[in-house]
Copies of this chain bind each other. A is one copy, B any other.
Amino acid sequence: MRIVIIGAVAGGASAAARARRLSEEAEIILVERGEAPSFANCGLPYYIGGVIEQRDKLLVAPAQRLIERYRLDVRTRTEALAIDRANHTVRLRYLENCDEYDQPYDKLILSPGAAPIRPPVPGVDLPQVYTLRELRDADRLHAAAKHAQRAVVIGGGFIGLEMAENLVHRGIATTVVELANQILPPWDAEMVSPVADHLRERGVTLKLSNAAAAIEPAGDGVIVRLRSGESLDADMVVLSVGVRPDNKLAVEAGLAVGPRGGIRVNDQMQTADPDIYAVGDAIETHSSLDGSPTQIPLAGPANRQGRIAADNIFGRPTHYAGTQGTAIVGVFEMAAALTGFSEKALKAAGTPYEKVYVHPANHAGYYPGAKQMSMKLLFAPDGGRLLGAQAVGRSGVDKRIDVLAVAIKAGMSVFDLEELELAYAPQFGSAKDPVNMAGFVAAGVVRGDQPVAHWDDLPQLAAEDGQSEGLGRPEGLGPPELVLDVRMASEFAAGSIPGAVNIPVDELRSRLGELDPARPIIAYCQVGMRGYLATRILLQYGFNVRNLSGGYTTYKQTMAAKGA
């Protein structure tokens, strides 16, 4: 058995290593255009920023080890030019001397990854404009960062923000330009507005709802002209507006690709040609939640898909269960993570959903160092099945999203979250962990104990932005809701929702007479807990009331996101 693998990093190297473990006999040829196989793509920004000091740390499995330990035929600086399916060969070029030859294969695995998108902006090919994919790119950026004083990062996705952080580490004044009206587009806008604030605190300038219209040379540097009319001086520009599957070999070989360019494979990672497999960033896969086609250019899926391709080549019918879009990004001291569907994805798909927000501390509040996080849970209004989750904060975010990722994978509902038995000691969590807490709140919503409202239900804002999907949304249109702030007077004074009336929850029972029983109420507090209690009290006294989920904290995060 002769296996040729194109691309020797996350998917390719994993496939090769697994193939060797499955077969001592196979001939395994690992073809890589770059200088080194098996490098840490995900570490490149941190090498540029000096967080990872030694370049050789990036070489996860050096070629020599793959050769000696895995007896792989590692061909670096070798580019695959074309596949000849009929003859089972792939045309390779050794880049050092441009020698070309046809390499026969029995099975071919494509793991060429994805290429940074280069938007058709004038000046995008100037030498001061960089993208980041390979070691060589990292070397260039590392060198450029030595002398640069001002940088512009085009694209506020996860690679863009990692670059911004690392440029700041190098003392470079950095501006991020993002087309969307938010950073980190896979997340819902209100969840990441605290990350945007944090970037600004750390000195990064954000230009949202904006884009580079042209990049022009200016002395040693460039001027980036924005659509808004502004221009930014920069010594270097980093393009990070997304990636596109590197599907050239596949397309030219007549293999099908999806609408966004991902190579089509079945759940055994096999393309339409049974002798050609494809994995990683280059493919279209499917959502493990609803089976819909999706492209998730992340390392975990690439690694596992590589392993599955090797399995199938050796007759083990391993199936890829699909991708649920679990991801995390660190941005200075903060982290943002998500799993499953976002609200915008659910909206776009027309899937019915409800949501709740909670803002628990990462661990017991009485133990020093507790940090508040924000969590959002998306679930089926009917039955409470989990659809997605997002978390943002300074600590413990990764844990909660991983827990929720498993819960989603297991097909759990919000009721199951109430019961999860998670590890508690004061340094690590709470007796009611944030995940339990989110479960309690969501379960209360599904059970009807806690009708919730969202920002777009607020009378001042509802007019502008249409209907909410709120479960408790009253039929028809009655009088506009009373917005009832149940926090302490001092909290109310320090900032509140326009038009709100303040009755602290502790006084509510004795001041019920001040409320018009005919008028629906939206209650709120700082994070939702007192608002919930107020809602329970008022419901029992016959009021039509909903709790503003996430309280003033979510409201402010949402307004910040909208104002951006």
Contacts and interface: CB of A to CB of B under 8 A. Distances in A.
Nearest to A43: B366
Contacts of A428: 328, 330, 335, 398
A477 interface: no
Per assembly, the copies of the chain total 2
Contact of A423 (B43, B53, B326, B412): B326
A40 B368 CA distance: 13
A321 B300 CA distance: 33
A299 B424 contact: yes
B24 A540 contact: yes
B368 A418 contact: no
A537 B24 contact: yes
A528 interface: no
A327 to B, nearest CB: 6
A326 B399 contact: no
Contacts of A307: 440
Given A24-B537, A52-B366, A423 B328 contact: yes
Interface string A301-317: 11110010000000000
Interface in A401-443: 401-403, 405-407, 409-410, 412, 416, 418-429, 431-433, 436, 440
A21 interface: yes
A140 interface: no
11 contacts: A10-B431, A23-B540, A24-B509, A40-B364, A46-B367, A53-B368, A302-B431, A326-B422, A399-B399, A406-B410, A407-B410
A314 to B, nearest CB: 11
A421 B43 contact: no
B402 A423 contact: yes
A1 interface: no
Interface residues of A, number: 88
Given A23-B540, A303-B431, A405 B422 contact: yes
B421 A300 contact: yes
A418 B419 CA distance: 24
Given A40-B366, A368-B52, A431-B10, A339 B421 contact: yes
A281 to B, nearest CB: 12
Contacts of A425: 42, 158, 327-330, 335
Nearest to A407: B406
A58 B366 contact: yes
Q: Nearest 8 pairs between A and B by C-beta?
A: A410-B410, A328-B423, A299-B431, A399-B399, A398-B428, A406-B406, A24-B540, A68-B506
A449 B307 CA distance: 14
Contacts of A298: 424
A46 B368 CA distance: 10
